[in-house]
Amino acid sequence: MKKTVLNMLRDCAKNHPETVYTSNKNNGKWESMSYPEVLKESRFIASGLIELGVKKGDKLSLISEGKNIWICMEFGMLFTRATNVPLALKLLPEEILFRIKHSESKVVVVSKMMLKTIAPLYNKMGKGIKLILLENSINGMENMLRENDIIYGKECFLYGDILEDGKNAWDKNEKILKEREKDISEEDIVTISYTSGTTGDPKGIMLTHLNYYHNCWDAMNYFIVDPGDRLYICIPTDHSFAHTVGIYAVLTTGFSLYFVDFGGGGLQYAKNVAKNLLEVNPHFMLSVPALSGNFMMKIKDAIQVKGKFISGIFNMGMNAGIRMNRDGYRKAGFLVKMINYLPYKLADVLVFSKVRKIFGTSIKYIVGGGALLDIRQQHFFYTLGVPVYQGYGLSEATPIISANTQQVHKMGSSGRVIPNVECKIINDKGEEMETGKQGQIIIRGKNVMKGYYKNPKTTAKTIIDEWLYTGDLGYLDEDGFLFVIGREKALLISADGEKYSPEGIEEAIQNSGDLIHQVMVYNDMKKNTTAIVTLHREKVRAYAKKNGFTSADQILEAIRKDLYAFKNVPEFKGQFLEKWIPTSFQVAPEDFSDKNQMINSALKMVRHKIQEVYQDRIDFMYAPGGSNVINKMNIETVTELLPN
């Protein structure tokens, strides 16, 4: 039998006929579809797409929040031998246009929430492109279509229209679909997922049936998940991690997927993350460091509000648990456990058990991906009893490369490499490094992409003799755990030419203090390191008011102390050489965000953009007197945060 995701769907529908595959919230109610229902509906969608003129090899772009009919639409595309091009929700209009045109998409599938972004672009996309609204009703979208000269029924269609047309034409199209499915190759492209484009034009990553098949089976054989377990996804489905695990990996075991209710995005989405979590009561969930970090911050704030007694018990128990657990792989000895057991158990009974209820009553663990997960987050959630297990992956690797699991984990690492994936650490000469030595991570396996779409030159530089050169730096320790340090292209470079990844120190700064929100550490052939920071502005205001500050100088001094708070955190003591610790900082007047293009769709900093915007401030820090944080630019930025 061919190794395709379509055969995975057929097998799962046969083996788990009663199990819920996917659920989303609609008009305040959860709506679910079983595996057989998704199989049946996606084939009708495929028939409807044939009626629309979709041919094998066609590309269809899809931009939407996660929902049941996304899955049916994607499988519908695959049954016609077409390819899905998932687009990130936070892309700018020009970025969306680039991807649609570069992929040569014939159809753009869009949800109601995203129509306000897509409709104004429609007449720039190219001649003959069709729109499919990933909805069953046109209500609330008529004006948007009219204002942008999009004719419903001619240029634009509803999901429900495609489904109905497919059912009506089933007798005619069933034979065509059987022929197309029979001819499907394991090397057929399932998706073209674009990189964020932080270092040039985005690259379209071509992932095949074989890529998805192997990555899903290899990863899920590594994890222990039971049929019917509930998976909660609160990150966008275009994210390669959510896409692989949510749409395809579920097919290996027959567990159930629940999408967060985006509710139009923005503040409503943020509220729904926690609300839906209780409603779903999942066994495990997918997250990214920014989201789990937000959870940690809110939990700490809520504990602090309870007063000194409760916060004292919480902190005492947290410290005791961290001492007992150590890195999770080698726990503390008997004496340390005996000394710390009672304060930990007291905190667990009185506080931790109540905090865990925000995750429901079934949660086993959270899987973190997308970026490096700060060690303090890992210790915090592990001790709380809801561990966040860090993994490592790249979209080019479909994306899972390594992971920590319930059975085998080591905090601070990205886990062990999953079965059937080879991993080596090499130096600049291409020589394999010994255990514990840092170098570039390269991997080989059936999960390595087919290549970059219409970009053979970059493909040839990235895949050499079947090895994928990740561009990430890391090392393998004596226990076989992979430690990822950061991106090679994001390295700091000191005046003597030494290189260093800034991600670890940035995470330490952001997660150790209370006032600094974001930080980008900078050094480009300089004698000292500097930083651009953003602030938790309301926290700074409250802190200034509480302490009776009357000048900007006092705020800047408080921020300076906050910047170095990590030095008093046991996990970070002695971890960073002084040459990489910022000697000065400039306060940015606004957060790094997707709106100002300083955060990409994967919630990572776009370093070159931040540098470009704040180059004058960076230059100032290296000018005579620029090391003094109490300067005109910083004073102007923080003065508005003073109490009236």
- CATH number where 537 lies: 3.30.300.30
Cβ atoms of residues 17 and 35 within 8 Å: yes
Q: For residue 467, what are the contacts with CB-CB under 8 A and spacing of at least 6?
A: 424, 442, 443, 444
CA–CA distance, 253 with 23 (Å, rounded to integer) = 17
Question: Which residue in 314, 390, 399 sits closest to 349, CA to CA?
Answer: 314
In a domain, 431, yes or no: no
Q: H/E/C letters for each residue in 386-400? A: CCEEEEEECHHHCCE
The CATH number of the domain holding residue 119 is 3.40.50.12780
Packing angle of the helix pair 159-168, 68-79 (nearest 10 deg): 50
Predicted pLDDT of residue 569? 86
DSSP H helices, 348-453, are 353-356, 375-384
- Return the sign of the alpha-carbon dihedral for residues 156, 158, 164, 170: positive
In a domain, 194, yes or no: no
CA dihedral 7, 365, 425, 485 (to 10 degrees): 130
Domain end, chosen from 184, 215, 234, is at 184
CA–CA distance, 528 with 500 (Å, rounded to integer) = 13
Q: Which domain holds residue 141?
A: 5-184
Predicted pLDDT of residue 602? 64
- The DSSP 8-state label assigned to residue 337 in this structure reads H
Question: pLDDT digit string (tens) for 513-572?
Answer: 999 999 999 998 888 999 999 999 999 999 999 999 999 999 999 999 999 999 988 878
In a domain, 96, yes or no: yes
Cβ atoms of residues 176 and 50 within 8 Å: yes
3-state secondary structure of 573: coil
Predicted pLDDT of residue 12? 97
Cβ atoms of residues 600 and 609 within 8 Å: no
Q: For residue 456, what are the contacts with CB-CB under 8 A and spacing of at least 6?
A: none
Strand order in the sheet with 130-133: 156-158, 130-133, 105-110, 59-63, 83-86, 189-194, 204-208, 451-452
Cβ atoms of residues 600 and 196 within 8 Å: yes
Residues β-bridged to residue 130: 107
The percent of residues in the chain predicted with pLDDT above 70, rounded, is 99
**Both tokens assigned to 420:** 């059937």
CA–CA distance, 294 with 273 (Å, rounded to integer) = 11
CA–CA distance, 236 with 262 (Å, rounded to integer) = 9
User: Residue 180's CB: how many other CB atoms inside 10 A?
Assistant: 19
The total number of residues shown for the chain amounts to: 644
- The DSSP 8-state label assigned to residue 435 in this structure reads T
Q: How far, in Å, are 75, 302, 490 from residue 484 at the CA level?
A: 34, 32, 13
pTM for this model (two decimals):
0.85
**Both tokens assigned to 103:** 């992929």
pLDDT lower than 50: segments of the chain: 199
Predicted pLDDT of residue 442? 97
In a domain, 481, yes or no: no
Q: What total of structural domains would you count in the chain?
A: 2
In a domain, 569, yes or no: yes
Question: Which residue in 313, 295, 292 sits closest to 304, CA to CA?
Answer: 313
Cβ atoms of residues 146 and 168 within 8 Å: no
In a domain, 231, yes or no: no
Question: Which residue in 369, 441, 355, 373 sits closest to 411, CA to CA?
Answer: 373
Beta strands in 126-224 (DSSP E): 130-133, 156-158, 189-194, 204-208
Question: Which residue in 294, 158, 195, 302 sits closest to 235, CA to CA?
Answer: 294
Question: Which residue in 98, 150, 75 sits closest to 119, CA to CA?
Answer: 150
Residues β-bridged to residue 432: 426
**Both tokens assigned to 344:** 């930990």
Domain end, chosen from 149, 184, 219, is at 184
Cβ atoms of residues 585 and 518 within 8 Å: no
Question: pLDDT digit string (tens) for 401-426?
Answer: 999 999 999 999 999 999 999 999 99
In a domain, 236, yes or no: no
Beta strands in 237-330 (DSSP E): 256-259, 284-287
In a domain, 446, yes or no: no
Predicted pLDDT of residue 639? 94
Q: How far, in Å, are 298, 332, 569 from residue 339 at the CA level?
A: 30, 11, 21
Question: Which residue in 499, 439, 498, 494 sits closest to 471, CA to CA?
Answer: 439
Predicted pLDDT of residue 509? 93
CA–CA distance, 462 with 442 (Å, rounded to integer) = 10
Domain end, chosen from 129, 150, 184, is at 184
